[in-house]
Structure 1
Amino acid sequence: MDFLELGREFLNQSIEVVIIGGGPAGISAAIWCKRLGIDHLLLESETATGGQLHNIQNEIIDYPGMITNNGQQLQEKFHQHLLQLNCRFRLGTSVLSIDAANRCLTVKEGKRDPEVIHFQYLIFATGAKPRRLRIPGETEMMQRGEIYSASKDGALFAHKRVAIIGGGDRAFEGALILAENGAEVSLIHRSDRFRARREYIQQVTKRDSIQLYPHCKIERIDGKSRVTGVTIVDANGKVNQLVVDGVFIRVGVEPNSGLLKGKVEMDQNQYILHNPKYQTSEPHIFAIGDVCTPADYTSISLAAGQGMIASKSISILLS
């Protein structure tokens, strides 16, 4: 059977648990639903499970029981786990809307007509997305396709100048990778405190090819047909224009909670609020993973544990 076809027999029927999102949290929830004998269906909008695992290029050493070279390897292990247990899932299926009151959602796969799925309980595991700067020039840059990965595209910037925006691990790790590929790196951060791990900060400060711009705000990304520079303002209000060939935005993530806006309670940053069982203010909706966990506390292990707690909590409610 084609992977995309798994779970199609559930359409237009009521399912005990529908899981939205195929990252580590959603996969864990599906595995636990299978183990607990719960009728379930996982929906993933992309054509592969794994979520943000696909963006992890470095070694993963903190998931108990296995060490992988990157997120792709871990994703493959997780996906095989789903297949071995015969968990029900649909790939390439987007959720268009959620009707909490009537416990149903509208989904669409490719060019097919929208379809309705009814559920008794919903596990919302849609994760997070890269945070935008929302400054002039950013949208234009993205529309031109000037979105890069330091690990995959580092060679493109050999002997060129790049700007990295951010002060966390991804920003510092990216700066090191690009510098190793021969780029001149300007690392710009709005604060004079960096959130990156200590070893990254120590390595960056030793690199002559990486220039730090702490306590600077980026005002705009310059360039019409391609990126040509960035305009920044320091703590004293001094404006500085940096000539660069590429911009890497690494300012963290924000929750993918839009589908539940106005339906469940959220905090000021749009993270979904929940009780210790991961039940939201709408009793039949649970939220797990990065969509309800601030970035400082996210991990693959935590996401997997949240999937277990939500599934076990629902199992008790169903019994």
Structure 2
Amino acid sequence: MGTQVGRKSVKKYADVVIVGGGPAGISAAIWCKRLGLNHFLLEARDTLGGQLLEIQNQIIDYPGLLSPNGKELQSSLLHHMEDLQCSYRLNTSIKAIDPEKRIVTVVEPEQQEFQLGYRFLIFSTGSSFRRLHISGEDEMIKRGERYSASKDRFKFKNKQVAVIGGGDRAFEGALLLANSGAHVFLIHRTDQFRARSEYIGPVLGHPQIQVLTHTVAHRIVGDRSVSGIELVTTGTKKTTFLPVDAVFIRIGMSPNSELLQGIVDLDKDKYIIIDKTHQTSYSDIFAVGDVCTHPVYSSISLAVGQGGIAAKTISSRMG
């Protein structure tokens, strides 16, 4: 096993503290180790890999390494990191950042806190699936009814499902579900779609997909499982009830940049603004991966490259 730092040996100082253990954070840690930088990666989950664990389809855009799913690629990255004995700790989150004192307040699994000093901070917290924030959504998620269109598509053969969104993920998911025998209602607030043309044509012409435009979800209905969704037509404000067996929310991503709000500059969508070296507006803080990359440009290989750029830049400044 690699150098997962235990409680008794947790470092109180590191030249480089990396927050987030997805591909960008793993890459930053690998490069820190290679460059001889005293580093420490903090990951809030119980495993490294970030969103890789949620990718069920084949990964074909990581050069030189075809992976059948995200878990396989995560395993390869983790093996590389552990071979180098990079320093990291799981189930550990950041409560606060004091950029003037260069200190992060760290919360451990048993809610114990300690302060970790740093010289440089690399923020690689990624992004999260955007929520609808409607009645019934929290309950649906708590019941574990968040499905993968690629992994779970055969569960809904001969059933009705709702897919909400107008981008690539929504359209691709609708196609996967429909081609697996589900009757799909694709719901979008306008008649303008962000999805690529290679998805739009097949979706609009698919006999198993009904597209509902100028429509928004108002409430998800169901106690023990989803039984339907309440919709509102944006123009007439007419409310209708649509019986479905599952709701797939595919309305985009939101960057996990909350901890740096008020510390570094963010754009209008809350993505961290960086320069070509991935330095933020605060000279000691860097950002890599999806927390600073809009979805249209996001990729695993890009995130990995960004982690290397940040680590190399920091190395050149250590002097």
TM-score, structure 2 normalization: 0.92
SS of corresponding position for 1:305: helix
Question: In the TM superposition, what whole-angstrom CA distance separates every residue of 1:79-132 from its partner, at most 9, and x where no partner exists?
Answer: 111012221111222222222221111222322621221111000000000101
2-11 or 172-181: bigger deviation: 2-11
SS of corresponding position for 1:259: helix
The answer to whether structure 1 residue 36 and structure 2 residue 35 are counterparts is yes
Contact (CA 8 Å) 1:11, 1:115: kept in 2 or not? no
Cα distance in 1 for partners of 2:110, 2:7 equals 18
Q: CA deviation at 1:3?
A: 5.7
What is aligned with 1:76?
75
Identical-residue share of aligned pairs (%): 52
Cα distance in 2 for partners of 1:264, 1:71 equals 31
What is aligned with 2:162?
163
What is aligned with 1:23?
22
What is aligned with 2:250?
250
Cα distance in 2 for partners of 1:311, 1:5 equals 20
Cα distance in 2 for partners of 1:241, 1:272 equals 39
Cα distance in 2 for partners of 1:122, 1:299 equals 22
**What is the letter of the counterpart of residue 248 of structure 1?**
F
What is aligned with 2:148?
149
Q: CA deviation at 1:16?
A: 0.4
SS of corresponding position for 1:274: coil
What is aligned with 1:212?
211
Cα distance in 1 for partners of 2:8, 2:295 equals 34
SS of corresponding position for 1:201: helix
239-248 or 200-209: bigger deviation: 200-209
Matches within 5 A, 1:153-232: 153-232=152-231
**What is the letter of the counterpart of residue 317 of structure 2?**
L
Cα distance in 1 for partners of 2:30, 2:225 equals 45
Note the residue ranges of structure 1 that are not aligned, 5 or more in a row. Answer: none
Cα distance in 1 for partners of 2:23, 2:190 equals 32
Note the residue ranges of structure 2 that are not aligned, 5 or more in a row. Answer: none
Cα distance in 2 for partners of 1:309, 1:2 equals 23
Q: 1:163 to 1:278 in 2, by over 3 A?
A: same
46-55 or 150-159: bigger deviation: 150-159
Question: In the TM superposition, what whole-angstrom CA distance separates every residue of 1:168-187 from its partner, at most 9, and x where no partner exists?
Answer: 22212222222233221101
Cα distance in 2 for partners of 1:297, 1:174 equals 20
Coordinate RMSD, CA, aligned: 2.0
What is aligned with 1:233?
232
Contact (CA 8 Å) 1:46, 1:93: kept in 2 or not? yes
Q: CA deviation at 1:143?
A: 3.0
What is aligned with 1:5?
5
Q: CA deviation at 1:228?
A: 2.3
What is aligned with 1:57?
56
| Number of equivalences | 318
Cα distance in 2 for partners of 1:80, 1:8 equals 24
Q: 1:26 to 1:77 in 2, by over 3 A?
A: same
Q: CA deviation at 1:294?
A: 1.1
What is aligned with 1:86?
85
175-184 or 64-73: bigger deviation: 175-184
Cα distance in 1 for partners of 2:68, 2:142 equals 32
SS of corresponding position for 2:134: coil
Q: CA deviation at 1:45?
A: 1.2
Cα distance in 2 for partners of 1:89, 1:174 equals 35
What is aligned with 2:101?
102
SS of corresponding position for 2:151: helix
SS of corresponding position for 1:152: coil
Cα distance in 1 for partners of 2:309, 2:245 equals 47
SS of corresponding position for 1:311: helix
**What is the letter of the counterpart of residue 247 of structure 2?**
V
What is aligned with 2:259?
259
